[in-house]
Each structure stands twice: as structure tokens, then as C-alpha cells.
Amino acid sequence: MKLKGLNGRLAFAIAAAALGSSFQHGYNTGVVNAPQQLIEDWISELKANRTNVPTSQSEVTLIWSVAVSIFCVGGMIGGSLVGWVADRFGRKGGLMLNNVLVLLTVVFEGSAKAAKSYEMIIFGRFLIGINSGLNAGLAPMYLAEISPVHLRGAVGTVYQLVITISILVSQILGLEQILGTVEQWPLLLCLTIVPAIFQVCTLPLCPESPKYLLLSRGKDMDAQRALTWLRGTIEVHDEMEEMRAEYESMKLIPKVTLRELFVNPALRIPLFISIMIMFAQQLSGINAVMFFSTKIFTMAQLDKNAAQNATMGVGAMNVLMTIVSLVLVEKAGRKTLLLVGFGGMFLDTALLTICLIFAETSRVAAYFSIVLVIMFVVLFATGPGSIPWFLVSELFNQSARPPATSVAIAVNWTANFIVSIGFLPLQDAIGAYVFIIFAILQAFFTIFIYKKVPETKNKTMEEISSMFRQISYQ
């Protein structure tokens, strides 16, 4: 892979934007897994002290599921605000402001135990959800707009890479030997402030997205200055000309509204593809597998510690494969990786269902299910994990990008919410057969990608837009 165009400054801007933002998304997704029992016991005791009546397990479970899933509700709200924030404050400005929510979260979650209020944890999770929803739109948008065309996919994958790393970090810190203890769990929740401090210190040193400066604000000189900084060279003439051409063609079209996205066929097709890809990512069953992994490993007769370690192994595998996809995405292309990912996950899930049914009685089936869980994560990380985040930024031109991103991110969090609320009841009702539902969905998404998703590798925004205009006239 040629790394032409990647220099120290661009790498610094990528780190400043991605580390501070997607770390919140991943860390707060994974952080509640390990200390679940500790926090549930604390809620149970707290509620009993308030009412002087012993708390039933079902009440505690309800409070806990609200605390876990309200993160997704916040994400939906944050996601739907992306377009407005990106236009109003800019990509960089929006990311900077978003850190205020992290500070508030830490205040609420950190003092919940001292204040004897589990409601404060729920409110904190809601705030960090809004923060993560905004980050999920703003960071990939900023990354897509500052990177050269031939690195756009690789840079876009960084967002998902940081998510996988931060999930792994949250799992490690949540171990009993580290912070997963009765005294330390509030600190575990508060560590989410660290990436925010990093971003507040580094991002002001980076420029705003040159595309935003020129195309949304009409500031030609500022855009050129920003681009020169990012490329580390004054030879940015061709890229500026490309942006100016996009700016001129944009002046002819009125500003894209939410209604326009659904009415105009040249925008409706890429919007439909974006929505489906976001649904595909969340309904692929990855959250269920990640959530269920410790349980699957326990079913495979691993003891509690071994099961936890195996779960860490899955997390580490996820990080490793996302790094591999970073290289592959510019070589193999987006569509190929999505097809390999979803097609492979379909076969994998079908086999996993069979193995889980026999896992109780057969050691072989139990060990096979461990292998299949790891394979599932490998396949997810090859493409379905990272590509949806930046594909939306690639399918739309500057004027349509913010509203389209809003819709796509809100859809992603809604699907995430559906899975996190619906998976456990379904699993209780039908056991291992729950994975058949995921297998059917994966098969459907594989066919959809094959038929409908275009390849955007090495294409400029203009080429991608004209491709959809042609399709819409047919």
C-alpha cells in the first residue's frame, strides 16, 4: 500500500480526532460488562435500604437493563443531531464541544455511589450515549474529509480500530485484579475522562476540515491553509481545484434538507444503501456474540477465569483483524470485504447454532463453538465492523453528508438498541436457536450488498455522485 500522503501532521490529526471520540464509544459499550454483578448488588442493597423491603432480582435486572440500554437511546439522540452540529460548529468544533458531555458524565457516574443514587448512573450513561452518538457521526466525517482519496478507507477504518481497542481496554481494566472491585468500580466508569482530556489538548492544534471551510463556509484561503498543514506540503493545487469544482457544482443545487434526501432519487439510493448497511452491521449479531461470548465459553466447560480470558482473546482478535482490514480496505475494496464478512458470518452462525445445540452433551461441539465465536469476530472485523462508519461519508457530497450521516447514525444506534433489548429475552425463550435469526439476516444482507452496494475505492466524490445520478435515471 502506498503511504503517499500520510505524514506526521495528518497522523496527528487522525489520532486527535479518533482517539478522543471513538474511545468513548467503545469504552462505554464494554465497561459495564465486567462489573455487572458488583453494580447489581449495590443497586439491590441501595433499593432495599430505601424501601426497607428486600429487592427482587427482577427489579434489579430491570434497573440494570435500563442503565445499559439507555446508552443506545442517548446514541440515537446524539446521532440524529450530527447534521446540525456538523453544520453549525464544524467537524472539529463539534468534536471539541462534545467533550463537555464527558465531563458531566464523569461527575454523575463518579459521585453516584457516594450520593447513594443509581439514577445518577443511568443519567450519566444517557449523557455519554449522546456523546458517543455525536462522535460516531462527527469523527468519521472529519477523518473522511481530511484524508487523501487513496487513504480514505484506511483512515476511515481507524474509527472502528479505536472502538475495538477501547472495548478491550475496558475489559482488562474491569478484571477483579485491577478495577473490578466493590471499592473501585466508580473509578472504572470515570476513566472515560482520559481520552477526552487527550482530545481537548491535541485537537485545537489541528485545522478544521478543509472541505467544511471551503464548501460550507466559503473560506477559500482558510481551506487552502488547512489543507497545506494536513498534507505537509504547499503542493495542494490539484486537491483544491477538485474541492472548488465541488463547491461550484454545489452552488447550483440548493442546500440538502432531510426531506430532499428521501425525495430526490439521486440521494435516496445512497441513503437507502447507508441505512441498510447500518442495519446490517448491528443486526449481524456481533453484539450478541460479544455479549454472549463469556457464556458460550462457560457452556464449553471453561471455568469462570478461563472464560473471561477467552473473552479477552476475542477482544484482542477483534483489534488485530481491524488492523488487517485497515490495509485490505484499500487493496480489496469496500464491497469485497463486506461480502466476505457477511457471507462468512452467515456460514459461521449456521454452524454455531448447530454446535451450541449439542454443546451441553458433546465436548467436541463445545470446543467448536469457541472456534466459531473467534471466527465470527474475525469475519466481522474484516469489513462489516469498520466500513459502514465511513461508507456514508463516501456516498454523499458535502451538502448532503451531514443530514445523511445523521439518519444513518441514528439508524445504527436504533438497531443497536433493538439487539441489546431483545437478545436476552429471545435467548431465554428459544435458547441457542436465537442465532438462526441472525443467520437469516446475514444471508439477506449478503444478497443486498452483492446487488446494490457500489465500490467506492479510489473514487472522488464527484465520480460517486454521478454514478448515483446515472442509476436514478435508469
Q: Domain containing 373 — which CATH number?
A: 1.20.1250.20
- Whether residue 318 is contained in a domain is answered as yes
Q: Which of 206, 240, 272 is the last residue of a domain?
A: 206
Do both 184 and 310 map to the same domain? no
Give the Cα separation of 43 and 353 in Å (integer): 35
Do both 194 and 291 map to the same domain? no
Are 291 and 111 in contact by the 8 Å Cβ rule? The answer is no
Read off the pLDDT of residues 4-23 as tens digits, 9 standing for 90 and up.
Answer: 679 999 999 999 999 989 99
Q: Angle formed by the axes of helices 152-173 and 387-395, to 10°?
A: 150
Number of domains in the chain: 2
Q: How far apart are the first and last CA of the chain?
A: 36
- Whether residue 221 is contained in a domain is answered as no
- Whether residue 176 is contained in a domain is answered as yes
**Residues in the chain, how many?**
474
Give the Cα separation of 132 and 137 in Å (integer): 9
Tally Cβ neighbours within 10 Å of residue 72: 28
pLDDT for 340 equals: 97
For residue 347, how far is the Cα from the chain centroid? 24
Give the Cα separation of 43 and 159 in Å (integer): 34
Do both 198 and 267 map to the same domain? no
Do both 202 and 260 map to the same domain? no
Q: Kindly write down the DSSP assignment for every residue of 96-119, as one continuous string.
A: HHHHHHHHHHHHHHHHTTTTT-HH
Q: Which of 206, 238, 267 is the last residue of a domain?
A: 206
Do both 178 and 268 map to the same domain? no
Amino acid at 35: P
Give the Cα separation of 320 and 438 in Å (integer): 24
User: Residue 324: which domain range?
Assistant: 256-473
Would you say residue 408 has pLDDT above 80? yes
Do both 167 and 302 map to the same domain? no
* Cα angle for residues 66, 389, 322 (degrees, 5° grid): 95
Would you say residue 361 has pLDDT above 90? no
Do both 149 and 67 map to the same domain? yes
DSSP state of 207: P
Do both 362 and 285 map to the same domain? yes
pLDDT for 474 equals: 64
Provide the total of helices (H) and of strands (E) in the chain, helices listed first: 21, 0
- Whether residue 236 is contained in a domain is answered as no
Report the chain's mean pLDDT, rounded to a whole number: 92
Give the Cα separation of 375 and 343 in Å (integer): 13
pLDDT for 3 equals: 55
Would you say residue 257 has pLDDT above 80? yes
Would you say residue 62 has pLDDT above 90? no
Q: What is the pTM of this model?
A: 0.92
pLDDT for 112 equals: 96
Do both 397 and 332 map to the same domain? yes
Would you say residue 2 has pLDDT above 70? no
Would you say residue 466 has pLDDT above 90? no
Q: Is the backbone of residue 302 left (phi > 0), alpha (psi -120 to 50) or beta? A: beta
Q: Kindly write down the DSSP assignment for every residue of 318-383, as one continuous string.
A: HHHHHHHHHHHHHHT-HHHHHHHHHHHHHHHHHHHHHHHHHTTT-HHHHHHHHHHHHHHHHHHHHT
Would you say residue 34 has pLDDT above 90? no
Do both 35 and 171 map to the same domain? yes
HSE-CB of 467 using CA atoms within 13 angstroms: 17
Helices (H), 203-303: 210-211, 220-231, 237-252, 258-263, 265-283, 286-299
- Whether residue 401 is contained in a domain is answered as yes
> Strand ranges (DSSP E) for 39-94?
none
Do both 289 and 201 map to the same domain? no
Q: Which of 206, 223, 240 is the last residue of a domain?
A: 206
Do both 196 and 341 map to the same domain? no
Q: What is the mean pLDDT of residues 30-36?
A: 87
Q: Where does the pLDDT of residue 305 fall: very low under 50, low under 70, confident under 90, or very high at 90 and above?
A: confident
Please state which of the ranges 24-38, 327-341, 432-446 shows the lowest mean pLDDT: 24-38
- Whether residue 47 is contained in a domain is answered as yes
- Whether residue 243 is contained in a domain is answered as no
- Whether residue 229 is contained in a domain is answered as no
For residue 416, give the nearest of 315, 283, 289, 274 by alpha carbon. 283
Q: Where does the pLDDT of residue 397 fall: very low under 50, low under 70, confident under 90, or very high at 90 and above?
A: confident
Task: Give percent of the chain with pLDDT exceeding 90.
Answer: 73
Give the Cα separation of 242 and 220 in Å (integer): 13
